[in-house]
Amino acid sequence: MKNPNIYAGYRYPAQIISHTVWLYHRFTLSFRDIEELLSVRGVVVSYETIRQWCKKYGSIYCNQIKKSRGQLGDTWYLDEVFIKINGVLHYLWRAVDQDGDEIDILVQKRKNKKAAMRFFKQLLKGEKGTPLKVVTDKLKSYSAAKKELIPSVEHSTVQYENNRCELSHQPTRQQEKQMRKFKSHGQAQRFLSCHGVVNNLFRPGRHLLKAKHYRTFRDRSFAEWDRVSCVQNLD
């Protein structure tokens, strides 16, 4: 990272802040849960401080991970589910690739053509390229947006083919329940953007790997996390 002094003014070591943010985005834990886990290790910090750390540093870390991860798969699976924010219905748009890695998410109030166009534009900008194939459900907004933005890309709406993306919403539902719903549009967008990036990094398809290979990938994930959180540079 360009600024190795992002922890200036904080009395807690970078390792503790980095580990705290990792706990929050890696597991389904509340701020109070993390406060207790840290206290067992002799680290006394309030849950409100943990909240501020996660709010500030989560996006910093994850933006760096996204910059270095390169382009993801060339088949995009798109889906949207409703979430309630302060009692108001919103839609969470999500795209994953053929390996189940989350490409991006976007929280919006609509699921019309304009909303689909906005999501497609965000995906195209983030990946800096077009996919070979797009898989969606039969929502007409997808077809209209794809026809206008990427007309040459293959588009499939075959039943059950989009299960990969539909299943990717499960961790979101678990976290939403743990947090007792999202409190604002900005909070949902900020948290879910980081949540997906961390899951991509630390869930390399364990069921497909031998134990020794999984441990190798896990070590690489921790090394990458240390790099983006500047822990190694501040020892």
Domain 75-183: homologous superfamily in CATH: Ribonuclease H-like superfamily/Ribonuclease H (3.30.420.10)
| 36 Rama class: left (phi>0) / alpha (psi -120 to 50) / beta | alpha
Sequence letter at residue 229: S
Q: Where are the alpha helices (DSSP H) in 27-112?
A: 31-40, 47-69
In which order are the strands placed within the sheet that holds 75-85?
A: 102-108, 88-96, 75-85, 133-135, 154-156
Given this model, what pLDDT does residue 150 score? 95
Given this model, what pLDDT does residue 232 score? 61
| Sequential pLDDT tens for the chain (235 residues) | 455 578 888 889 999 999 999 999 999 899 999 999 999 999 999 999 999 999 999 999 999 998 888 778 899 999 999 988 888 999 999 999 998 889 999 999 999 999 999 999 999 998 888 999 999 999 999 999 999 999 999 999 998 898 888 888 888 788 777 777 888 888 889 988 998 899 889 887 655 678 888 899 899 999 999 999 977 654 4
pTM of the model: 0.86
Given this model, what pLDDT does residue 47 score? 95
Q: Taking the domains of the chain in order of start, what are their residue ranges? A: 14-69+204-234, 75-183
